[in-house]
A and B are shown apart, each in its own frame.
Chain A
Amino acid sequence: MNTETLIPKLGVVTDIRIDTPDVKTFRVVGLDGKKVFEHMPGQCAMLSIPGVGEAMFSITSSPTNEDFMEFSIKKCGCLTNWLHAMDVGQQITIRGPYGNGFPVEGALKGKDLLFIAGGIGLAPLRSVINYVRDKRQNYGSIQIVYGSRSKEDLVDYQEILDEWMADEGIQVNLTIDRAQEGWDGHVGFVPNFVKELQPDLNKTVLLCGPPIMIKFTLEGLKELGFSETQVYTTMELRMKCGVGKCGRCNIGSKYVCKDGPVFRFDQLDELPNEY
C-alpha cells in the first residue's frame, strides 16, 4: 500500500474508446508507460483532474492485462463531463487501489459463475470476467447476462461480440429494454430475463447495475431458489479519501471504500438499508 495514500500518482490517457452515447473507456498508464499499480478485480481507483474534482471509479480492466488499466466511465457529473471532453495524451492523477475486490482467489475459485449486469454496471464485472477468462482452468462454467436501455447503450459491445461470445464455454445472454431495428436478440428488463433463463441454482452470482435493477434481480434470484450467500454485488457511495477515514461512504459500520465495495447480500442484510 502506498504510504502517502492521499497524494496521487500521475497517469496518462493513451486511448479513449467511445462505448455508448454516454460511456467512454479510458486507457491509463503511468508516465513510464507501465501500469501505475497492480489491483484485483472489483477494486477501484481515485481519478482526478486537479481543479475539477476527484472521484472513485472501478477498474474495468483485468489485472491479467499487464500493459495498462482501463476505466469505463459514464458521463453524469462535473468530473466525468470533463473526462469525456478530454483528448488522448491528457495526464490525470490516480491513486489506489482501494477496496476488497471480488474474492476471485477465494470463494469464487472453482465455482460456476453467473454475471448479471445492467448498463454501466458491467464496468466492475468486466474486470472479473476477463480475469476468469484468462485463468479459465480455475473456474467452472461462465454465464453472462447483460442488459441495457438499447443496443447503443451496451458497454463493451464489440468486446462482447468478438471475444466473450467467441469463447467456448461462455454463455452470453444479451437483452435491451425496448425493441429496436437491427436487434434480433432478447427484449426486456434484466430481472425478468434472468427468471426466464432459469440459471442453475449451483451458480455463484456477481450482480451489478442500477439500484432498481439490483433490487428486482435479487428478488427474482431468490424466487428461483438462490440464496443471498450466493450473490455478490459491488456498491458505490460518495467517497473522498478511499481509505475509511473521511467518514461518508459507510453503510452502517462498514465503509464501502475499505470494507467493500464488494459485499455478499447476506452481509448487506445485516446492515441498514442506507445506500
Chain B
Amino acid sequence: MQKLSLSKLDQFLEAMAAHQALYLPVEDHSGQAKFQRWAPGVQLSSTLNTVRSAKDFFFPQTEDLVNFKLRGKEIEIIDPRTEHEDFVVFGVRGCDARSFTILDKVFLADPVDTYYQSRREHGTIVSLACTRPEETCFCTSFGIDPTCPQGDVTCWMEGDALYLTANTPKGEALLAQVADLTEACGDEAVKAQQERVSAILKKLPLANFSTKSFGGQVLMEVFDSEKWGTLSESCLGCGTCTFVCPTCQCYDIKDMDTGHGVQRFRCWDSCMYSDFTRMAHGNPRLTQKERFRQRFMHKLVYFPANNNGEYGCVGCGRCLSKCPISMNIVKVAKALEGDCK
C-alpha cells in the first residue's frame, strides 16, 4: 500500500494529468458533482457521487458510429474513429466501479462492441472508498463493498492522507507515474476507516434490502404480477432513471443529415419512451405500464437470467434521488417480492 499526503494532492493530480487525460468529480455551481477533466485549479468534489454515472466514459450519451457520403446512387462509408487517448477516471465509487463489470457483459459479449472496447482499453479506473454513505445507498445488497471498491487502483482518503493500492497491471503502471510523491505504508489507517464505515453501512435504512427472490426462475411470475399497473400509474415516462443509471445501456441509432453527408450516431435511449419499440405495424409495449415493467424486469429478471444470476443494478441510489415521482427499483422490488414464487 502507498500513501500520499493530501497536501500533495494537486501535485499528484498534475502528475497523472501529465501522462494522460485525467477526469475527476467536480462540483458545478448548483452544488452537484460531475466528472470533469482536470486542469490546474480544478478541485476534487467531496460529494458522495456524481449526478451522471461514470458510464459516460465508455458509453457516451452520443457517439458517431459511421459517416456516409452520398453521390447519386453511390454511397461512401467512412469510419469516423480516431485513436482514443489514454485517460484516468479518478474518484469512481464502488457502485460505479461495479457497473463496468455489468456493462462489459453486454458490450464485450460476442460480437464485441469495438467502440466500447477501445475506450475500456484506454481507460484506467481509480476508485475511491466511500466514507459517508447516504440513505439512498444499497450497493451492499449486490455484494459490493464500498469500503474497498474495485478498479485498477483503489484509494482511501483518511485523515491527511490518500492511501492507494494497485489491483491490475494498468493500476501499477499508473502508480509508477506518481511514485515520487508516494511512500510505502501499512494498512492500519485504511483498516480503521473500513471498520468505521462498515458500521455506518449496517445502519443504512436499506441495509437489509435484497433482490434475492428475483431472477430468471421467476420470469413469468413477476411479469404477470398485478401490481405493475399501480406501480407505474404515476410514471411520467421520462428518461431520468435510465439516463442517471450506471447500468442502463440501451441505445438508439440515428442518422443526421449534415448537408455534407450523413452522420450515423448512437445515443442513449430509454425503454421508458413511447417510441422505444414502436414499429410501422404497431407497438408491443403500448402503455407506460409495459415500458415501466420492461425496465425493472430487465434489471431484476432478464439480466440475471442471461448472466448467471447477476442483477442489472449496483445500488448507487441515483434513481431514488432523481425520479420526479420517487418511484424506483427499491419500491418496485419490495412491492413484487411476494409475487416471486
Contacts and interface: CB of A to CB of B under 8 A. Distances in A.
B271 interface: yes
A107 interface: no
Given A237-B284, A247-B269, A91 B220 contact: no
Interface string A116-138: 00000000000000000000000
Contacts of A33: none
B199 interface: no
Contact of A93 (B73, B77, B290): B77
B251 A50 contact: no
B277 A247 contact: no
A90 B73 contact: yes
Interface in B254-284: 255, 257, 262, 264, 266, 269, 271, 276-281, 284
B252 A240 contact: yes
Interface string B216-247: 10011001100000000000000000000000
A248 B302 contact: no
Task: Pick the most buried of A10, A53, A90, A238: most chain B CB atoms within 10 A of its CB.
Answer: A238
Contacts of A90: 73
B302 A252 contact: yes
B278 A238 contact: yes
A272 B280 contact: no
Nearest to A271: B219
A77 to B, nearest CB: 3
B172 interface: no
A253 interface: yes
Contacts of A275: 284
Contacts of B305: 252-253
Interface in B67-107: 68, 70, 73-75, 77, 79, 106-107
Nearest to A244: B109
B281 to A, nearest CB: 6
A6 to B, nearest CB: 5
Nearest to B281: A76
A9 B75 CA distance: 10
A92 B51 CA distance: 41
B216 A253 contact: yes
B241 to A, nearest CB: 14
B106 A274 contact: no
Interface in A51-68: 51-54
B279 A238 contact: yes
A246 B262 contact: no
Interface residues of B, number: 51
A27 B250 CA distance: 33
B66 A5 contact: no
Contact of B223 (A50, A243, A272): A272
B269 A246 contact: yes
B119 to A, nearest CB: 14
Interface in A219-275: 236-238, 240-241, 243-250, 252-253, 270-272, 274-275
B249 interface: yes
B279 A8 contact: no
A4 B39 CA distance: 35
A53 B255 contact: yes
Q: Is the interface of B mostly helix, strand, loop or mixed?
A: mixed
B249 A247 contact: yes
B285 interface: yes
Contacts of A10: 75, 77
Contact of A248 (B70, B216, B266, B276): B276
Interface in B172-228: 216, 219-220, 223-224
A7 B77 contact: yes
A253 B219 contact: yes
B74 A91 contact: yes
B44 to A, nearest CB: 34
Contact of B75 (A93, A236, A238, A253): A93
A250 B302 contact: yes
B300 to A, nearest CB: 11
Contact of B280 (A8, A76, A245): A76
A85 interface: no
Interface in B285-305: 285, 290, 294, 297-298, 301-302, 305
Instruction: Give the interface centre of A2, A93, A250 by most chain B CB atoms within 10 Å.
Output: A250
Contact of A80 (B114, B280, B285): B280
A250 B276 CA distance: 12
B337 interface: no
B249 A50 contact: no
B245 to A, nearest CB: 12
A33 to B, nearest CB: 16
17 contacts: A3-B112, A6-B113, A6-B115, A6-B266, A7-B65, A54-B253, A54-B255, A76-B280, A77-B279, A89-B73, A93-B77, A237-B284, A245-B106, A246-B253, A246-B266, A252-B219, A253-B216
Given A7-B79, A252-B219, A272-B223, 14 more contacts: A1-B110, A5-B113, A6-B266, A7-B77, A9-B77, A53-B255, A54-B253, A91-B74, A237-B277, A240-B253, A240-B266, A247-B271, A252-B297, A252-B305
Q: Which 10 A-B pairs have the closest CB atoms?
A: A247-B250, A77-B280, A50-B68, A253-B305, A50-B262, A253-B302, A51-B262, A76-B280, A91-B75, A90-B73
Interface of A: 1-10, 50-54, 76-77, 80, 87, 89-93, 236-238, 240-241, 243-250, 252-253, 270-272, 274-275
